[in-house]
């Protein structure tokens, strides 16, 4: 009887887990749809940002060695890595992959500090005894440009102030529902296209007012903010995609476990019924034999 009671409790608790994981899968699917829409809407802006930067670079070659966001200090002694992770777990290996990229993207011999976007990344870096200079929470609703701007401005201030000679960002590139790849790329100093790259891609018929040099100086921080924002949107889309897949697998495993437990419960109940029938039959046979005695 106790075995049947335990099996019944396990079946009930496993079904509850299945309902929770199914609900989390549905929530992640809904959020992923909204974030993917934001990703699609931001792509034209990112596309024209790159082209405007390319054309401004064509007309302002003199600024390459003078703007603080373009100067590459030497030697590189200290670097900052912006880590975009998540505020919640239950999303498979998503967080571990981006932390691995963040902790291995800077070469040896360079001291590294971290700026964490997401509670899970902050806690994981703390467990690894890494130095986190600041941390930001990710909004529950949708990706925020304000958050990306805060992280970008802090990184620019630290870079131009001379604290760090390089700034990187570790994020997750969203390809599709099943494929998302953790990456780490250099943010600062910014890379402007070379003459060969400009000639290969071709110019755009733009005219600038006031001068290209003034526009480029004002445009570079906005381009960096947009880059951080696009990485934030891609990371959040990847997070919801990873959680949706993880919860789908968890739901399927829970349903399979319910089936196995139900089968074990039915077998145990059948054995108990068989034992009871045998006990009744044995008792009846004993009574009949007793009555037949002289």
Cα–Cα distance, 2 to 287 (Å, whole number): 31
The token pair at 113 is 């500090």
123 vs 74: which has the higher pLDDT? 123
Question: Which of 105, 57, 54 has the alpha carbon at shortest distance from 83?
Answer: 105
Number of domains observed in the structure of the chain: 1
Give the single-character DSSP code of 64: T
Q: Is 86 a domain residue?
A: yes
Q: What is the pLDDT of residues 237-278, one digit of tens each?
A: 999 999 999 999 999 999 999 999 888 888 888 888 887 787
Res 117 pLDDT > 90: yes
Cα–Cα distance, 34 to 237 (Å, whole number): 9
In terms of residue numbers, what domain contains 120? 24-248
Q: What is residue 167's predicted lDDT score, i.e. its pLDDT?
A: 92
* List of residues 6+ apart from 12 with CB closer than 8 A: none
Mean residue pLDDT of the chain comes to 83
Q: Is 182 a domain residue?
A: yes
Q: What is residue 81's predicted lDDT score, i.e. its pLDDT?
A: 94
Q: What is residue 266's predicted lDDT score, i.e. its pLDDT?
A: 87
Banded pLDDT at 32 (limits 50, 70, 90): confident
Res 73 pLDDT > 80: no
Res 95 pLDDT > 60: yes
CATH number of the domain that 59 lies in?
Answer: 3.40.1380.10
By the 8 A CB rule, do 173 and 238 touch? yes
Banded pLDDT at 190 (limits 50, 70, 90): confident
Q: Is 260 a domain residue?
A: no
Q: Where would I find the H helices in the chain?
A: 2-59, 94-104, 119-127, 145-160, 195-201, 212-292
Q: What is residue 198's predicted lDDT score, i.e. its pLDDT?
A: 53
* Window from 22-36, 173-187, 198-212, 237-251 with minimum mean pLDDT: 198-212
Neighbours of 46 (CB within 10 A): 16
Q: Give me the percent of the chain exceeding a pLDDT of 70.
A: 86
- The dihedral of CA 117, 123, 124, 130: what is its sign? positive
Q: What is the pLDDT of residues 277-288, one digit of tens each?
A: 877 777 666 667
Question: Which of 263, 250, 242, 110 has the alpha carbon at shortest distance from 180?
Answer: 242
Q: What is residue 36's predicted lDDT score, i.e. its pLDDT?
A: 86
Q: Is 259 a domain residue?
A: no
Using N-to-C axis directions, what is the helix angle for 212-292 and 145-160, rounded to 10°?
Answer: 120
Res 100 pLDDT > 80: yes
Q: Is 227 a domain residue?
A: yes
Q: Is 209 exposed, middle or buried (0-12, 13-18, 19+ CB in 10 A)?
A: exposed
Find the mean pLDDT for residues 72-77.
79
Q: Is 5 a domain residue?
A: no
Res 191 pLDDT > 90: no
Q: Is 254 a domain residue?
A: no
pTM: 0.82
Q: What is residue 127's predicted lDDT score, i.e. its pLDDT?
A: 92
Q: Is 163 a domain residue?
A: yes
CB-side exposure of 128: number of CA atoms within 13 Å?
18
The structure tokens 């990187």 sit at 168
CB-side exposure of 170: number of CA atoms within 13 Å?
30
């Amino acid at each position: 009887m106790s075995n049947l009671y335990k099996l019944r409790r396990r079946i009930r608790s496993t079904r509850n887990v299945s309902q929770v994981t199914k609900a989390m899968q549905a929530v992640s699917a809904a959020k992923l749809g909204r974030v993917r829409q934001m990703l699609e809407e931001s792509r034209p802006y990112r596309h024209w940002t790159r082209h405007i930067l390319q054309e401004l670079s064509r007309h302002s070659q003199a600024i390459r060695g003078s703007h603080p966001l373009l100067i590459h200090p030497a030697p590189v002694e200290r670097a900052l890595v912006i880590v975009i992770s998540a505020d919640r777990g239950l999303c498979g290996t998503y967080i571990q992959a981006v932390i691995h990229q963040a902790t291995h993207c800077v070469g040896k011999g360079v001291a590294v500090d971290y700026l964490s976007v997401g509670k899970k990344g902050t806690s994981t870096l703390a467990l690894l005894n890494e130095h986190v200079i600041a941390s930001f929470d990710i909004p529950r609703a949708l990706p925020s440009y304000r958050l990306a701007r805060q992280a970008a401005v802090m990184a620019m201030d630290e870079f131009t102030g001379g604290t760090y000679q390089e700034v990187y960002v570790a994020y997750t590139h969203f390809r599709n529902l099943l494929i998302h790849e953790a990456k780490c790329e250099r943010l600062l100093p910014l890379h402007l296209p070379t003459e060969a790259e400009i000639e290969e891609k071709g110019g755009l018929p733009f005219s600038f007012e006031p001068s290209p040099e003034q526009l480029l100086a004002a445009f570079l921080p906005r381009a960096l903010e947009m880059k951080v924002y696009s990485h934030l949107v891609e990371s959040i889309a990847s997070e919801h995609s990873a959680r949706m897949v993880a919860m789908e697998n968890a739901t399927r495993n829970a349903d399979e476990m319910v089936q196995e437990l139900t089968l074990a419960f039915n077998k145990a109940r059948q054995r108990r019924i068989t034992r009871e029938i045998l006990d009744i039959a044995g008792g009846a046979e004993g009574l009949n034999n007793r009555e037949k005695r002289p």
